[in-house]
């Protein structure tokens, strides 16, 4: 009920009706409704309507796949600053193919989304989040001094940072943060890992894994050269160097509670208490993060070529919404064997063993 | 009147607490504070939150626990970035803008 609170003012009836047809109608009605949605002259931005439909009808992009209109744009950046500050997506600030604008946050979100798109296309032959070219939408300047970035089920959202936790402008400056958020979209459309306890920690870990890989790929780093940090240099210096360390979980900033081994797993309830982090999803992700960093380093070379390929295949084809650590670990061992050989399989097995997860 | 905003989860998974006591405010600001609190309708929310997890369409959304102490027993409500009502968001932004607020990061 509260999900549309304060957003109802932007409701426009015809697209909503079309949206319902697009969801609940017969295949023919769906097709017609989607075509009408896409071509209506009254709709300045199909994406805005799609995003709003997602919220009003409680849809996510997974439910929209299959009748999404083939986008003409690879990505678009919106500015929230000039339009109510929390009204998504906001005002279009830079379209696909347009030159840089004056606003650094807009250009950073553009370049980071573009680099992430190219990584998934060139390395894993994946055309955007859904595999069929879904437009990547980002909104910057969300809220006022907002200390967060998130994925809202259909787009990325970035705050400016308050200068007390995140540096002002820090959230869009970090390529691994952008790739982290976009990977939440891929997870939603593939494994669908439930954002709670172990499945949620896996969801978080896959975002960190591919966040780090996009950064390593852009820097052409080998596993040995990588810093294995997420969000380096975006917190205020007094708090610490980064948000997370995949190689040394629990050491990224003062107060970092991440374990790197199952012996130190933090068993928290999932009860909406901010202290419990959906059952420790950003805490226990340290364990699978550590396993990935160990496996990638032991496999050697560029992390996206072997370790990343294994984890990508597991994420997109082997997991289910309630998968736990042991199931994900076993899947990576199996896939290491099917993609490569028993040598790689043993390395992956040993990486999980080192963090206390049995395969 | 004292308002305590605890935030957790989010991209960083960090827990922060922001407190504002009306007694520390100059009179006009205290009146604005009371008005912003009244418009947020915190007291009309259920005092005890259900423990069932909400629909999770927004990974990395912040979790909020907002606690108001007045004369009676404290009222505590919980939201996420996804469910935060506009008037509560405005109240949070107002408190974040006051120099009298006391902030801490929890271990
Ligand atoms: Zn995340």
Does pLDDT of A52 surpass 60? no
Locate the chain A residue with the closest alpha carbon to B80.
Answer: A272
CA distance A74 to A113: 9
Helix (H, G, I), strand (E, B) or coil at B19: strand
Locate the chain B residue with the closest alpha carbon to A274.
Answer: B8
Radius of gyration of chain A (CA): 20
- Reported ipTM: 0.90
Cβ contact, residue pair A177, B6, below 8 Å: no
Helix (H, G, I), strand (E, B) or coil at B61: coil
- Helices A175-189 and A104-124 sit at what angle, rounded to 10 degrees? 50
Which of A166, A257, A274 minimises the CB distance to B6? A274
According to DSSP, the β-strands at A75-79 and A91-94 are antiparallel
Question: How close is the nearest chain B Cα to the Cα of A244, in Å?
Answer: 8
- What digits encode the pLDDT tens for the residues B16-43? 999 999 999 999 999 999 999 999 998 7
- For residues A242 and A251, is the Cβ–Cβ distance under 8 A? no
Question: Ligand 1 centre from A206 Cα, in Å?
Answer: 9
Q: Closest Cα to residue B102, out of B17, B28, B30, B23?
A: B17
* Residue whose tokens read 């199952």: A262
- For residues A180 and B11, is the Cβ–Cβ distance under 8 A? yes
pTM listed for this prediction: 0.85
Which residues in chain A have their CB less than 8 angstroms from residue B86's CB?
5-7, 86
Of residues A210 and A51, more confidence is placed in A210
- Helices B86-96 and B27-40 sit at what angle, rounded to 10 degrees? 150
- What digits encode the pLDDT tens for the residues A74-116? 899 999 886 657 788 899 999 999 999 999 999 999 999 999 9
pLDDT of residue B95: 97
The domains of chain A, with CATH numbers, are 2-173 (3.10.170.10), 197-354 (1.10.390.10)
Locate the chain B residue with the closest alpha carbon to A187.
Answer: B59
Q: What is the mean pLDDT of chain A?
A: 86
pLDDT of residue B48: 43
A58 touching B (Cβ < 8 Å): yes
Catalytic residues of A: 181, 282
Confidence of residue A47 (pLDDT cuts 50, 70, 90): very low
Pick from A178, A272, A286 the residue to mutate for testing the B interface (most B CBs within 10 Å): A272
Neighbouring C-beta atoms of residue A24, cutoff 10 Å: 11
Cβ contact, residue pair A277, B7, below 8 Å: no
Contacts of A96 (CB under 8 A, 6+ apart): A72, A73, A74, A75, A76, A135
Q: Closest Cα to residue A197, out of A137, A278, A274, A120?
A: A278
pLDDT of residue B46: 56
A273 touching B (Cβ < 8 Å): yes
- What digits encode the pLDDT tens for the residues A221-267? 999 999 999 999 999 999 999 999 999 999 999 999 999 999 999 99
SS3 content of chain A, % helix, strand, coil (to 5): 50, 10, 45
Cβ contact, residue pair A243, B61, below 8 Å: no
Q: Closest Cα to residue A138, out of A101, A111, A168?
A: A111
**Interfacial B residues in 19-48 facing A (CB < 8 Å):** none
For Cα atoms A190, A191, A195, give the angle at the middle one, nearest 5 degrees. Answer: 120
């Amino acid at each position: 009920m509260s999900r549309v609170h304060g957003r109802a003012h932007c409701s426009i009836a015809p697209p909503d009706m079309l949206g319902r047809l697009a969801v609940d109608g017969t295949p023919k009605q769906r097709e017609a409704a989607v075509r009408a949605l896409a071509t209506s002259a009254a709709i300045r931005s199909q994406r805005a309507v799609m995003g709003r439909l997602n919220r009003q009808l409680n849809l996510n992009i997974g439910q929209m796949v299959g009748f999404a209109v083939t986008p003409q744009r690879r990505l678009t950046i919106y500015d929230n600053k000039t339009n109510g500050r929390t009204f998504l997506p906001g005002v279009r600030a830079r379209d696909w193919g347009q030159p840089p604008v004056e606003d650094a946050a807009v250009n950073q979100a553009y370049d980071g989304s573009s680099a992430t798109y190219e990584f998934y296309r060139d390395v894993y032959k994946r055309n955007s989040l859904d595999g069929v070219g879904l437009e990547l939408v980002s909104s910057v300047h969300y809220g006022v001094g907002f200390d967060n970035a998130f994925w809202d089920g259909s787009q990325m959202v970035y705050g400016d940072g308050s200068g007390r936790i995140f540096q002002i402008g820090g959230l869009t400056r970090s390529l691994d943060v952008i790739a982290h958020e976009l990977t939440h979209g891929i997870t939603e459309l593939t494994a669908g890992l439930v954002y709670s306890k172990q499945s949620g920690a896996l969801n978080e870990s896959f975002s960190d894994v591919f966040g780090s890989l996009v950064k390593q790929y852009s820097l052409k780093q080998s596993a040995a050269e990588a810093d294995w940090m997420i969000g380096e240099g975006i917190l205020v210096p007094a708090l610490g160097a980064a948000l997370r360390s995949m190689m040394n979980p629990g050491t990224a900033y003062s107060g970092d509670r991440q374990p790197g081994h199952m012996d130190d797993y933090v068993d928290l309830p999932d009860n909406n208490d901010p202290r419990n982090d959906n059952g420790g999803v950003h805490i226990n992700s340290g364990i699978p993060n550590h396993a990935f960093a160990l496996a990638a380093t032991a496999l050697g070379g560029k992390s996206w070529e072997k370790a990343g390929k294994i984890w990508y295949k597991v994420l997109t084809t082997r997991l289910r919404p309630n998968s736990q650590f042991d199931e994900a670990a076993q899947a990576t061992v199996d896939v290491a064997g099917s993609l490569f050989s028993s040598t790689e399989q043993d390395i992956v097995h040993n990486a999980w063993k080192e963090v206390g997860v049995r395969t | 009147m004292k308002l305590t905003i605890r935030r957790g989860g989010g991209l960083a998974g960090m827990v922060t607490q922001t407190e504002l006591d009306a007694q520390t405010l100059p009179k006009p600001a205290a009146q604005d504070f009371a008005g912003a609190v009244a418009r947020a309708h915190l007291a009309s929310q259920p005092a005890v939150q259900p423990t069932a997890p909400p629909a999770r369409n927004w990974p990395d959304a912040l979790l909020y626990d907002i606690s108001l102490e007045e004369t009676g027993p404290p009222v505590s409500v919980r939201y996420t970035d996804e469910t935060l009502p506009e008037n509560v968001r405005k109240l949070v932004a107002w408190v974040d803008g006051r120099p009298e607020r006391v902030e801490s990061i929890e271990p």
